[in-house]
């Protein structure tokens, strides 16, 4: 019997398979935005930690918190109920969801799409937009954040690229991009910032510059994953 071969992708990297070209993978938008520094204050915060391992732990903890919050918010947007005992959320994360509900009730968004995958053969990029909403009659590409300190420039070029991809793939104009940062440090429990079409198109220009920086730092080589193909089962028999 012929052994099945599976493909292993690099850890901590996210690649998207081209819908048109067999075996061709594109980097994620967030992989590109990681090449834009988050600022000296964020870097100093990490540098002030006891060790490199502690800095990594903090970053991983933040990533895990964001993942759980995204899953919970998606459940709410799909009309499901989240119970504290079975939510799998920490007390802090559960409280963040109360802020998300408060934002929903204030802005009353109409849901167009949830966790929408966007893969562009034209831009050679892939990504997942958290939401496409209609708010006050405008098409809004929405992103949810749980970072404790701020909304970073890398976040804005991220949503700007998603907006560009959405317009290309769905032939629909994006009027605004918006970032909702859930945080107990704000009176309302969140920071909500919107950028109009002119603003996000400027941010997209910065994204393209950041992409060029990524390519330059990789030696101007073709951006592709280091794929390993291995058998699906191993045995000495």
Structure letter (DSSP) for residue 78: T
Smallest CA-to-CA distance from 190 within 103, 68, 94, 63 is with 103
Query: What distances in angstroms separate CA 64 from CA 69, 89, 90, 146, one per listed residue?
Result: 9, 10, 11, 10
pLDDT digit string, tens, across residues 109-159: 999 999 999 999 999 999 999 999 999 999 999 999 998 888 999 999 999
The domain defined by 5-38+90-231 folds into Trna Endonuclease; Chain: A, domain 1 (3.40.1350)
* Stated pTM of the model: 0.88
In this prediction, residue 170 has a pLDDT band, given cuts at 50, 70 and 90, of very high
| Burial class of residue 180 in the structure, from the number of CB atoms within 10 Å of its CB (0-12 exposed, 13-18 middle, 19+ buried) | buried
In the chain, which ranges are continuous DSSP H helix? 29-33, 40-47, 52-77, 91-107, 153-170, 197-217
Say what the pLDDT of residue 10 is.
76
Say what the pLDDT of residue 59 is.
61
Q: Rounded to whole angstroms, how far apart are CA atoms 119 and 27?
A: 10
The dihedral of CA 99, 77, 160, 195: what is its sign? Answer: negative
Rounded average pLDDT over 157-181: 98
Quote the distance between the C-alpha of residue 1 and its chain's center: 41
Percent of the chain predicted with pLDDT > 70: 90
Say what the pLDDT of residue 112 is.
98
Say what the pLDDT of residue 108 is.
97
pLDDT digit string, tens, across residues 59-78: 677 778 889 999 999 999 99
Tokens representing residue 106 in the block: 């204030």
Say what the pLDDT of residue 1 is.
57
């Amino acid at each position: 019997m012929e052994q099945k071969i599976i493909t292993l992708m690099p850890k901590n990297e996210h690649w998207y398979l081209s819908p048109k070209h067999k075996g061709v993978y594109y980097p994620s938008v967030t992989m590109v935005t990681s090449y834009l520094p988050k600022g000296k204050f964020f870097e100093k915060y990490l540098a002030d930690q006891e060790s490199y391992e502690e800095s990594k732990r903090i970053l991983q903890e933040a990533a895990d918190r964001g993942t759980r919050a995204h899953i919970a918010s998606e459940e709410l947007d799909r009309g499901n109920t989240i119970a504290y005992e079975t939510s799998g959320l920490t007390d802090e994360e559960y409280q963040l969801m109360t802020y998300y509900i408060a934002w929903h009730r204030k802005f009353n968004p109409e849901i167009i799409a949830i966790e929408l995958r966007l893969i562009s053969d034209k831009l050679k990029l892939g990504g997942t937009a958290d939401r496409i909403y209609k708010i006050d009659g405008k098409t809004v590409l929405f992103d949810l954040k749980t970072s404790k300190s701020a909304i970073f420039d890398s976040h804005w070029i991220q949503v700007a690229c998603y907006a560009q991809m959405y317009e290309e793939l769905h032939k629909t104009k994006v009027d605004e991009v918006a970032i909702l940062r859930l945080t107990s440090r704000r009176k309302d429990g969140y920071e909500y910032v919107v950028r109009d079409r002119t603003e996000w198109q400027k941010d997209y220009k910065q994204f393209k510059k950041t992409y060029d920086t990524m390519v330059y730092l990789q030696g101007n080589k073709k951006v592709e994953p280091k794929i390993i193909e291995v058998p699906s089962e191993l045995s000495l028999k």
